[in-house]
Amino acid sequence: MSENTERGWLPDFVLINGEIKSGTAFFADESGIIKRFSQAPADLAGAQRLEGRAVLPGLVNVHSHTFQRVIRGRTEWRNRGQRDTFWTWREKMYDAATRLTPEQIYQTAKAAFLEMLLSGITTVGEFHYLHHQANGNRYSDPNLIGKLVIQAAREVGLRIVLLRTAYLRAGYGKSPNPGQTRFITHDAGTFISDTEELSSWVKKFRFRGEAEVGVAPHSVRAVTRDYLLEIADYARQQKLCLHMHVSEQPGENEACIQEYGVSPVTWLERMGLLSPRFTAVHAIHISETEAGFLADSGSSICACPTSERNLADGAVRADWLLARGANICLGSDSQIQIDLLEDARLLEYHLRMQQLERVVLDPAAPGRERLSHVLYETASKSGAKSLRQNVGELAVGKPADFVGIDLDDLSVAGASPEMSLANVVFSLERTAIKDVYVGGRCVVADGRHPLQGNITAEFKGVQKELWGDSR
């Protein structure tokens, strides 16, 4: 390929291999893949100058339920005489899930994906379980809604791994819950054939690198042993990532102990399901031994701290996990906030409040910005590992997915180069995120997306239709 097909960028600072560098340009080919870094005067002169910008790898949001964006702020009151918990919140969420139309789901997904891009997220794992009509009947195209969600991501401009979610039952020994009717696929064979059809559709339209498919048994409580094993075997044969809600609530552990005699992580370890393709979402209520099971198997753990604090789930034991070398990544989950850097800092802050000690996740502190690098990687490189995507860092052979930070934004202004990442991780406000590139293509420029006005107006219409808001 000739040099004429290259495109290059020269920011004030760029994060490469965990090091903040200045005077360095990077270049991508016409397909958006980074080909080289250079400090040669001719290359610096030929690159697009990103003045006043620090460039960091695009963020990876591993766990998202976009449809839940419609209930933001609508569950923040207590029903009279009732203790409010995750389980009561869930019933309010089901109310929205049963009423959304495919078009509303599509418009809501666009709004959530747009908010992700504006916060620096360039890749998302969408844990998708709204498969059917509200009465449980299948659409003529069983992947109608999944395809709409993928199209929403492509229209907005970020990469997506649609984690097609398997749901069979309300829980061990429980009667069916009407709020889950849209989620249920009654046999694993049908779930697998539907997933195969969606994978074929993605391949047909050559979405590789822009959209891919994974599988996600919802939780131990939502599937039986045989159903889970059949889906897990399919994922292994197809080399797909396998994600699962695990130990988000003590009630999940209690139900698993009742059914299988042990808590979820221990049971998954005994079943041989933990592996580098497996991601345990939440994994809050685990033991130190179970933290070892997850780390030793190469599994990822997806923490969702902004959502988990809102739902009163508890705090992830990131200290146990990182001490054992586990791969921790992050997700926006219920969309109460979409801010992965806030999620990253909460990994540390939750532990500080519990242990009354600072810098918990880097007790030896061998480098001035080591903790900042660790936390930034949970929001980027570690997420790419969980989703099995070739993103999450700026390196030769990887897509030019990056975020341009305004160094004059008051939240980071005055930071020296050696302290710039700590300022980003611990203090950055979203007002500082000005430019977002996916595959070398600018999708957010100076803090604005070209479709922002239309998408926002559509989403406001969805909210009015659902809730009768007058605004």
* Residue 387, phi-psi category: left (phi > 0), alpha (psi -120 to 50), beta (remainder): alpha
Task: Tell whether the torsion through CA atoms of 265, 266, 267 and 271 is positive or negative.
Answer: positive
- β-strand partners of 329: 302
Q: Active-site residues: which are they?
A: 282, 333
